[in-house]
Structure formats: structure tokens, C-alpha cells
Amino acid sequence: MPDASAAPPRTENTVRGIGTIALGFAVISCSDAAVKWALPEVGTAMAMIWRGVFGMLSILLLSRLSGGPAMRWQPRNGKLVAWRSGLHCAVTVTWYVAWGHGLPLADSYAVGAAAPLLMTLLAIPILGEQVGWRRWASTGCGFAGVLFMLQPDGVLWRWEAGLLLGGVGLLALTRIWTRVLARTDAPPTVAFWLLFAHVPVGLLLLPLFPPPAWWPSGSTVLVLALLGTGNGAAHLLFARAFALAPVSVLAPFEYTTLVWGMLLGLVIWGDWPVATTLAGAAVVVLAGLYNLHRERLRAREAAGVAA
């Protein structure tokens, strides 16, 4: 029987999980800024290929350096891993196309803030979760915030934002599937095959998104290497964080990407979100945080009944 005293306290694991996911969102934000910067030179399809190649290499390297068990090549739930990886490639296309057509980084994150709200809805049929009237009401308010951001004649009233919103819906579904896969497959396995899928999908998309230059400049290659490495590291950090702490504790830190997006967009491109985007994003974030609050209360009540 293992010594329970040797295991880290639950509070310590939670703190480590928070630190891990905060770092992951900082890394992924920098990676997103890198690909947005490189897209005019490489295009959507080649950016996916570069991301996949360097991402796979970084996962293999980081998995070996971590000192943990060797990465399992064959996923236990191979069918769901394949579906999740393929669907995430579609998500990547929507974000890259939107960025390639000039959608600012912070604005894209503001639209992406709707993902937790969509997860609340998708968790009902997929995970069998119960959603009370309070969470229904807050979710409705959150989507009202999305509509406020995308109002006609507004800055975000453009087809790129609509395309991105569709991608956010798919992103929410892949995150629900991530929760399901956590029961059967290790984080490196799930992350590796996700990034592996970007290579063949990128090759298939080359006729639709031919690159402006087949071989980018040296500085762009460096940026793309950082992109892929950052994505691989971020996916491992996310998976590790969710293994350490509850989803309800970690989910609010996703909104830190809004801060990173504003800072990186301002420094690199001089972008700053307009008032309607900031106001709508605030409503979406508050609705998401309230849903998480209700989820915690329900978890505590369920634990009390079980005790």
C-alpha cells in the first residue's frame, strides 16, 4: 500500500496546477503572436505544417527530459484521439485565416472567450451534466456580450470574426473530449497526435492556401520553430495542470489570454481593442466566471451528499 504521506497535499497540487496553467496560457499567447507575425510570409497551410513538425519534436524532447514514463505511442482511445486531432486542425484553420486577414490578436481572444460558455452547453449532452436556471441565464447573458461585440457596423462586424466564432464552437467540443480522454490516455500521447495531424492536414490544404514563399527567411524559420515548440510545451502544460487541479479552479485563468493578447498586440502591431469589444468581452468573462462559481457550489453540494 503506498504511503499517503508521500503524496503532495491537495492544496499544494492545486497551487502547482494554477502556476502550470498560467504559464501555459502565457506560452500559447506568445506562440499565437508568433504565427500571426509569420502568416503573411508562410500562409495558413505551411504554418500548420511547421507547427506540427516542431510541436511533435518538442513533445518528444520534453517528455524524455521530464523523467516520467515513456510516451505511449498507441493511444488507448484511438478513435476519439483521431477525431479530436482532426477537429482541432479545423479550429487551427479558422484562427489562422482570421489572423491572416488582419483580425487583431486581442479581438480574436475576446471572441474566443465564448468557449467556456459553449462548453457549459456541450457538457449537457456529452458529459451528462445538469445545468440549472442560473447558469442558463448567465450563459444567455454571455452570448449577449458576444452579440454586442459582433454588432452590425462595429469593428468586429466582419466575416473573419464569424468564421472564428464557428471555430470557437469546435474548440469547445475538443476541450470536452479532452476531459473524456484524460480518463484513458496520458497528456503527451494526446498532444503528440494532435500536432501530428497538423502535418497531413496542412499538406492537403496547400492547394487552397499556397504559401507566398515556399521557404521562409531565416528569422521567420526561427519564429516558426518557437511557434511549434511553444505549442508543444503549452499542450503538455495544460494537460499537466488539469491532472493536478480541478477544472473549475483552472478554467478562469483562460481569460488571462485577453491580457496577453492586448499586451502583445499593442507591442508588436500597435493594436488596441475598441470600447465595444472590451465591454462585450467583460460581459462574456463575467458570465463564464459565474458559471464556474455555480459549478463549484454544485460540486461541494454533491460531495456533501456523498459524505
* DSSP letter, residue 208: T
CA distances from 79 to 76, 105, 203 (A): 9, 33, 22
Q: pLDDT at position 299, please? A: 65
Cβ neighbourhood burial of 275 (10 Å; 0-12, 13-18, 19+): exposed
Cell 499567447 belongs to 29
The three cell numbers locating residue 57? 519534436
Residue-wise pLDDT tens for the chain (307 aa)?
344 444 445 677 778 888 888 899 999 999 999 999 999 999 999 999 988 998 888 888 887 776 555 667 788 899 999 999 999 999 999 999 999 999 999 889 988 888 888 887 887 787 777 777 787 788 788 878 887 887 766 778 789 989 999 999 998 898 888 878 878 888 788 888 999 999 999 999 999 999 987 788 888 888 888 888 888 888 778 877 877 777 667 777 888 888 899 889 999 999 888 888 888 888 888 887 887 777 777 767 666 655 5
Question: 184: Cβ–Cβ under 8 A, 6 or more apart, which residues?
Answer: 75, 76, 77
* DSSP helix/strand/coil, 88: helix
**d(C-alpha 241, C-alpha 236), whole Å:** 9
* Element at 56 (helix H, strand E): helix 10-65
Return the pLDDT at 66.
63
